[in-house]
Chain A
Amino acid sequence: AQKITQTQPGMFVQEKEAVTLDCTYDTSDPSYGLFWYKQPSSGEMIFLIYQGSYDQQNATEGRYSLNFQKARKSANLVISASQLGDSAMYFCAMRGMDSSYKLIFGSGTRLLVRP
């Protein structure tokens, strides 16, 4: 069975500092994809970044980067130069080959950026 674990229910970060949100996963699939989504208080889920299990380099999208450590089965999200608008829930998700199109989500981390 596949599983995503986010062990940080809530985090604070000072504006303009970097923050790392943890995500570990469990799968027996040799090929899988990892995703991070942001959910502001308005409720919509916003795709941030994606990492494929065979990608050689860590994914980056603007201020977001994914610290992918395959042997440790971790896919941590790094947000550089935090902004007040980064305050939101963040979800890590995974899809494996046996998932029949569905994404498995973690329980989420609530990030609060302090001015």
Chain B
Amino acid sequence: DVKVTQSSRYLVKRTGEKVFLECVQDMDHENMFWYRQDPGLGLRLIYFSYDVKMKEKGDIPEGYSVSREKKERFSLILESASTNQTSMYLCASSLPGTGWRDYGYTFGSGTRLTVV
């Protein structure tokens, strides 16, 4: 089974801190994604990457950056954490695939970040 591992389940940080959320997948997937999940809003895409050192902005990239130095690892960085970044963060990976079914994601367990 593909595994996507997020380093922390719960995290509490102070306003203004630089925060790193780590995500590692073990099945050689090319594509990796960071979403945030908020009640009533569903999942919103922050950034994604389709190859090492490649990154693309999603729908809500402001206040975030990402790093993908190795294929298996995709890091989300909050440059200066703010209270409005308190949320659940979900990492996912997928194959590029040749069929639509392959475009489905495998998700990590999520990191619930609280910024105080």
A binding-site residues for B, Cβ under 8 Å: 4, 6, 9, 31-33, 35, 37, 42-45, 47, 50, 52-53, 91, 93, 95, 100-103, 105-108
Contacts and interface: CB of A to CB of B under 8 A. Distances in A.
Central interface residue in B35, B56, B99, B104, by most chain A CB within 10 Å? B104
Central interface residue in B43, B88, B92, B101, by most chain A CB within 10 Å? B43
A43 B96 contact: no
Given A9-B40, A108-B42, A103 B101 contact: no
Interface residues of B, number: 31
A43 B109 contact: yes
B103 A105 contact: no
Contact of B42 (A35, A50, A101, A107): A107
* Chain A to chain B: the 10 pairs with minimum beta-carbon distance, closest first: A33-B100, A45-B107, A43-B110, A105-B43, A107-B42, A105-B42, A52-B100, A44-B109, A101-B31, A50-B101
Given A43-B109, A107-B42, A108-B42, A101 B104 contact: no
Given A9-B40, A43-B88, A107-B41, A101 B48 contact: yes
Contact of A43 (B99, B103, B104, B112): B112
Contact of A102 (B42, B48, B108): B48
Given A44-B109, A45-B107, A107-B42, 12 more contacts: A31-B100, A32-B100, A33-B101, A44-B108, A45-B110, A47-B105, A50-B101, A53-B100, A100-B56, A101-B31, A103-B103, A105-B43
Contacts, number: 67
14 contacts: A6-B42, A31-B100, A43-B88, A44-B107, A45-B92, A45-B110, A50-B100, A52-B99, A52-B101, A53-B100, A91-B42, A103-B105, A105-B43, A106-B42
B19 interface: no
Interface of B: 9, 31, 33, 35, 40-45, 48, 50, 56, 58, 88, 90, 92, 94, 96, 99-101, 103-110, 112
